[in-house]
């Protein structure tokens, strides 16, 4: 149990002891809007009703009674209907000792109680472009996994790749046209990116010449037969896409325990249809096979079209069955954009009708926009991962080289690698999943504002101060000096970190971590400009201990966002 949790529990226990009943609970304790008002605040409105007093009288009553239990650990003050509490500097400094002891484990909890949770994310399509919309899914899913893991869940990160479907046939049709032109494919280095460009070209040509759709449909049937040259070409080109995905995952420092493919489940799904028709879960309608979910308010889920072509549920249902049964899950989480919200409600209902009782969650997220419009992999109005990564690296390299012309190439490359990946991840995670992201490269690299560059610069600044202190051995605080307002505020912010992690985990919301880190960095930088940390005086050891604790928490938080920290930049 962390410092704040223990103190809140103690305060509420004493309030209930005073009141003679379990009326108050820890959720009643809030944080004042300004640090000078105190560290904790108890609004007395609901308690006033119980005591049949007005809120101000209730606050005054509790001030008198609760003060007996303070042991000089905290002071109390009434502000209208609020009872505000401020911790003593000595007791609050125990937060730093907590961080010193736990280090990278500071923020861990047993919230999940080792429950088994599978998180499926990065559900990309082979034979299509990998763009910044996919990156939001990738970064969000990875950070959710990290939050669940630090909160005591047994997390299984997996990916599901759509390697079948009409989009594949479109790309391979364009590929056959490319081959007819006599161009040499062996000269193309990034063949996965090449396939994505062919898909865009195929979509444009099919719009201009719709009669070729019959050729594409025929090509799809040949692939589905798993025989012949078309199937061999599918296997060959599929490998190119998968190699591209694996390279991106490696560059982004993201790993999966397992990767599922649609082609592994489509046949199983087709085989189960007759059984589910017999059981009444599916039914025939105008030549199609459907799940009629209207009585649940979920409309109609089409399984097979009237022409016999399979839709998403044909593979998704057997995939879900394998995940729930083989991995013995308590919860199965799907990270997929918000266009699929109804579909997942329908899918979960079908699985429930099949007898599955495990918790299933769809984590939806909104789109990523460019400054001039929305993304569409069909029109090519996108920034691909390759384009984005290249532009970021160029800008970061130029800026780093201009700031440090004497640095060796290897050192500059380290900064470029960390900052390019960190920029992508931070921009994708710093806002809630329900908000649209407008990805602006120039703003994302600013050293001023809500950016990873600002946080990395803060981390590097603290590292520099500690180096200048000649790595002085910083031990636990023997005597706490009187803290100035910023110091007290900083320690209190550090005390809140475990709560922030818990809240972010419960809400599947990494942006809570990003916002917390930015606020912490902002207050630290204000503090840095106000005091001389390295002055040789009685405050020196405490101040070094404080900034080392801030560095630890910033590092812990960035780890939850999947971002490496820079000692210099």
DSSP string, 37-90: G-SEEEE-HHHHHHHTS-HHHHHHHHHHHHGGG-TTSEEEEEETTEEEEEE-HH
Which residues are 368's β-sheet partners?
437
Is the per-residue pLDDT at 486 higher than 90?
yes
Domain over 3-87 is classified CATH 3.40.190.100: no
Contact in structure between 298 and 342 (CB atoms under 8 Å): yes
pLDDT of 520 above 70:
yes
How far is the CA of 484 from the CAs of 72, 492, 531, in angstroms? 18, 12, 10
Q: Is the pLDDT of residue 471 over 70?
A: no
**Alpha-carbon distances, residue 424 vs 78, 417, 428 (angstroms):** 46, 11, 6
pLDDT of residue 372: 73
Mean pLDDT (the chain) is 93
Least confident among 323-327, 381-385, 491-495: 381-385
Task: Determine the average pLDDT of the residues in 324-353.
Answer: 97
CA triple 311-315-321, angle to 5 deg: 140
Q: Read off the pLDDT of residues 254-308 as tens digits, 9 standing for 90 and up.
A: 999 999 999 999 999 999 999 999 999 999 999 999 999 999 999 999 999 998 8
Whole-model pTM: value is 0.94
485-490's contacts with Cβ under 8 Å and 24+ in sequence apart are 485/35, 485/36, 486/523, 486/526, 486/527, 486/530, 486/531, 487/527, 487/542, 487/543, 487/546, 488/35, 488/89, 488/92, 489/35, 489/523, 490/520, 490/523, 490/524, 490/527, 490/546, 490/550
Q: Confidence band (pLDDT; 50, 70, 90) for 472? A: low
Give the pair of three-digit tokens for residue 349: 């209902």
For residues 520-524, average pLDDT: 98
Q: What is the radius of gyration, based on Cα positions, of the chain?
A: 29
Nearest to 553, CA basis, from 146, 106, 97: 106
Q: Which residue has the higher pLDDT, 185 or 201?
A: 201
Token pair of 194 as six digits: 């090449």
Q: Tell me: pLDDT of 177 over 90.
A: no
- Domains in the chain: boundaries: 3-87, 393-560
What per-residue confidence (pLDDT) applies to 178? Answer: 85
pLDDT confidence of residue 308: 86
pLDDT of residue 378: 57
Pick the closest to residue 393 from 375, 379, 412, 380 (CA basis). 412
Q: How confident is the model at residue 40 (pLDDT cuts 50, 70, 90)?
A: very high
pLDDT greater than 70 at residue 374: no
Closest CA to 544 of 455, 456, 476, 454: 476
Instruction: State the Cα–Cα distance between residues 24 and 27, nearest whole angstrom.
Output: 8
The region of weakest confidence among 74-78, 208-212, 345-349, 472-476 is 472-476
CA nearest neighbour of 563 among 416, 425, 396: 425
The residue among 298, 282, 394, 396 whose CA lies nearest residue 341 is 298
Mean pLDDT over 531-536 rounds to 87
Q: Which CATH number fits domain 393-560: 1.10.730.10, 1.10.1750.10, 2.160.10.10, 3.30.70.100?
A: 1.10.730.10
């Amino acid at each position: 149990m962390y410092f704040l949790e223990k103190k809140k529990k103690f305060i509420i226990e004493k309030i209930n002891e005073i009141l003679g009943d379990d009326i108050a609970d820890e959720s009643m304790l809030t944080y004042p809007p300004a640090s000078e008002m105190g560290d904790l605040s108890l609004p007395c409105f609901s308690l006033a009703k119980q005591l049949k007093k007005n809120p101000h009288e209730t606050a005054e009553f509790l001030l008198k009674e609760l003060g007996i239990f303070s042991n000089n650990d905290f002071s109390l003050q009434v502000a209208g209907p609020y009872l505000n509490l401020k911790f003593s500097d000595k007791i609050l400094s125990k937060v730093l000792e907590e961080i010193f002891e736990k280090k990278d484990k500071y923020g861990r909890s047993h919230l999940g109680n080792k429950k088994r949770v599978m998180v499926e994310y990065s559900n990309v399509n082979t034979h299509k472009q990998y763009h910044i919309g996919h990156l939001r899914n990738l970064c969000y899913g990875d950070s959710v996994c990290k939050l669940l893991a630090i909160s005591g869940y047994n997390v299984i990160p997996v990916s599901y790749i759509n390697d079948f479907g009409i989009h594949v046939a479109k790309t391979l049709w364009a590929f056959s046209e490319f081959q007819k032109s006599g161009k040499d494919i062996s000269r193309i280095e990034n063949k996965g990116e090449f396939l994505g460009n062919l898909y865009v070209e195929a979509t444009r040509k099919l719009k201009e010449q719709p009669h070729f759709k019959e050729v594409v449909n025929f090509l799809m049937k040949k692939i589905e037969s798993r025989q012949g040259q078309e199937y061999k070409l599918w296997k060959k080109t599929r490998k190119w896409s998968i190699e591209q995905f694996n390279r991106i995952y490696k560059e982004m420092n993201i790993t999966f325990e397992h990767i599922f493919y649609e082609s592994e489940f489509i046949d199983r799904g087709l085989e189960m249809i007759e059984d589910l028709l017999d059981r009444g879960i599916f039914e025939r309608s105008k030549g199609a096979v459907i799940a009629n979910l209207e009585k649940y308010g979920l409309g109609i889920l089409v399984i097979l079209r009237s022409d016999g072509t399979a839709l998403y549920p044909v593979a998704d249902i057997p995939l879900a069955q394998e995940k729930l049964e083989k991995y013995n899950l308590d919860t199965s989480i799907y990270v997929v954009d918000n266009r699929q919200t109804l579909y997942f409600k329908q899918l979960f209902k079908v699985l429930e009708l099949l007898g599955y009782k495990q918790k299933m969650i769809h984590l939806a997220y909104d789109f990523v926009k460019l400054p001039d419009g929305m993304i569409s992999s069909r029109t090519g109005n996108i920034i691909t991962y390759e384009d984005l990564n290249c532009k970021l690296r160029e800008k970061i390299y130029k800026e780093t080289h201009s700031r440090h012309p004497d640095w060796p190439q290897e050192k500059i490359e380290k900064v470029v690698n960390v900052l390019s990946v960190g920029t992508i991840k931070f921009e994708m995670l710093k806002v809630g999943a329900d908000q649209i992201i407008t990805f602006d490269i120039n703003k994302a690299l600013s050293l001023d504002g809500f950016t990873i560059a600002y946080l990395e610069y803060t981390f590097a600044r603290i590292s520099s101060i500690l180096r200048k202190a000649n790595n002085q051995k910083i031990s636990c605080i023997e005597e706490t000096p009187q803290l100035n307002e910023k110091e007290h505020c900083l320690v209190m912010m550090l005390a809140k970190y475990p709560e922030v992690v818990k809240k972010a985990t419960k809400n599947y919301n990494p942006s809570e971590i990003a916002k917390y880190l930015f606020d912490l960095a902002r207050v630290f930088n204000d503090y840095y400009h106000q005091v001389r940390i390295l002055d040789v005086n009685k405050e020196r050891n405490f101040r070094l201990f404080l900034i080392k604790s801030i560095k630890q928490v910033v590092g812990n938080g960035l780890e939850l966002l999947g971002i490496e920290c820079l000692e210099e930049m």
